[in-house]
Structure 1
Amino acid sequence: MIQSPFGGGGRSMVTQPTFKTLEHRGWSERARIYDRYSGRFCRYGIAALLNAAGISRGHSTLDVCCGTGEASLAAAARGAIVTGVDFSEEMVAAAKAKASNVHFQVGDAEALIFGDAAFDRVINNFGTLHLADPDRAIAEAARVLKPGGRYAFTVWRGPDVSPLFRILPEVVSSHGTLDVDLPPAPPLFRFAEREEAMRVLHGAGFTDVTFGDIPATLDFPVAELSDFFRHAFVRSTMVLDRQEPAARARIEEALGESFQPFTDNGIVRLPLPALVVSATRD
């Protein structure tokens, strides 16, 4: 299987920034436009996430990798007492600008500043995919949860069922190269594998692991193909930016052709299936 440019692969360069540094930089640069691009399809996970975590009135809730705060605000609308953390100062500023009924602050998912057993619920909407050490983040979620508390996170499913994650690496490898000067990234679809998700969650002290499918859709005007991929993603944008100009042009043309079966009246509508995973703190 061709490795997705969204995760894994890449040549190791001694002087390169780390994966975590590049993710921080990329998402910080996108904070002001996040809701217009990435937020459009990440919102699909929110209702399923809150339902899986069982969030309701009075629950102290931590939203990890909160981004611009959409999941935090949805949890607060259910009456939860919400804290949102993100490693990007710019994302936190954008979240704070939306509402005052959630406490937003800068924080590292892999080293949470909160005490043990501080929250009733912990959620993470598609943020696990962008962590250098997701196992550590899951262990931290367990640590800050009260016994019996519920944890839930969302992840995208892999190229076997997701046209986007099949088409993009195939096109890039056919017309350019996936072997670019980027630090290796954690496997993007690791936690979409149910056995692997259960193994890590059980190892972190969770029980009662459950899974739910999320039928999301990615939609954007085909005429804005280049603009969309430049702003909606971090890792894939870095891969595309490192192509030779002629190869980049061929890739964009081939992507447009590959998306034609999913295009109606100039709008690309790609199925983008996701998974919500939840578990109880032992």
Structure 2
Amino acid sequence: MVTQPTFKTLEHRGWSERARIYDRYSGRFCRYGVAALIDAAGISRGQTTLDVCCGTGEASLAAAACGAIVTGVDFSEDMIVAAQAKGSNVNFQVGDAEALIFEDAAFDRVINNFGTLHLADPERAIAEAARVLKPGGRYAFTVWRGPEIAPLFRIVPEVVSAHGTLEVDLPPAPPMFRFAEREEAMRVLSAAGFTDVTFGDIPATLDFPLAELSDFFRHAFVRLTMVLDRQEPTARARIEEALGERFQDFTDNGIVHLPLPALVVSAARA
């Protein structure tokens, strides 16, 4: 019997395939969270810091630039190789956010830049962050805001539904914007042993040439690319054409400037 892929295995495959080009595509807008993340976590010189879902290491490098002693972990070996190639003093290693190999109370700070929405069991990952933090240590993560204020996450499902289908052969995914809901974030963090929860808005923008829409969407996203790849060819063409039309309102001199607001959430380990 053929084993069907899980959400986690598909995420792993998708991001591993994009590791060498991550900075050119996804990294261009994910890096907007880094400065806010470092500030919210209160990272400073000498602090032991764990960067979970570190990807190609941008947040890890920023924390190290503050003088922190940084370990970066990602479930994709290809991402870790890309991070290590940047030649820093960060200890990059393969690791699972939902089953960290570190001892209890090993770190002063834990950060996660836009990785939470790619986790199959984010509550477990948050509990793991609490476990490896020292009492009084701080945890911070970034998440995208939902479709009510982020045009990308409203326009894309509307267009796909109008010209194709969202009912494709993919395993169910966790709610993408769950932790952008402040009450839900506070509830889960409190249950994991966190206190002093704070929130901060991040004004981010997704910029790409309108003429390169198809290329950008194929390489910058994983779940969305899988949805688009499962459309009939004629439907896929109509979807891309309709997306280009909808993005015209955000386009200047051929460059799309799409608001992509985010949220930084931080909390202290009790």
TM-score, normalised with respect to structure 2: 0.99
* Structure 1 ranges of 4+ moved more than 3 A: none
| Partner of residue 63 from structure 1, selected from 34, 39, 51 | 51
Identity of aligned residues (%): 88
* Counterpart Cα distance in 2 of 1:207 and 1:194: 14
Runs of 5+ consecutive residues of structure 2 not aligned to the other structure: none
Deviations 1:132-187 (A, max 9, x none): 00000000000000000000000000000000000000000000000000000000
- Which of the numbers 180, 197, 200 marks the counterpart of 1:212? 200
> Counterpart of 1:270?
258
Q: Could you tell me which amino acid in structure 1 is paired with residue 239 of structure 2?
A: I
**1:61-97 per-position Cα deviation (integer Å, ceiling 9, x unaligned):** 0000000000000000000000000000000000000
1:244 maps to which residue? Answer: 232
Aligned-partner Cα distance in 2 for 1:211–1:70: 22
Residue-pair matches, total: 269
Q: Which of these residues, 120, 138, 153, is aligned with residue 132 of structure 1? A: 120
Contact 1:72 1:83 in 2 (8 A): yes
For the residue of structure 1 that corresponds to 2:260, the secondary structure is strand
In structure 2, the residue matched to 1:152 is 140
Counterpart of 2:5 in structure 1 is: 17
SS at match of 2:203: strand
SS in 2 for 1:259: helix
Partners of 1:272 and 1:37 lie apart in 2 by 15
CA RMSD of aligned residues (A): 0.6
State the distance in 2 between where 1:74 and 1:198 align.
Answer: 26
Amino acid paired to 2:157: P
**Aligned partners of 1:254 and 1:15: how far apart in 2?**
36
SS at match of 2:186: helix
- The two structures have a TM-score, normalised by structure 1, of 0.95
Distance 2:62 2:151 in 1: 29
1:10 is matched with: none
Secondary structure class of the residue paired with 1:67: coil
SS of the aligned residue for 2:225 comes to: helix
1:171-186 equivalence runs, <5 A:
171-186=159-174
| Correspondences of 1:91-240 after superposition (within 5 Å) | 91-240=79-228
Q: What secondary structure does 1:116 align onto?
A: coil
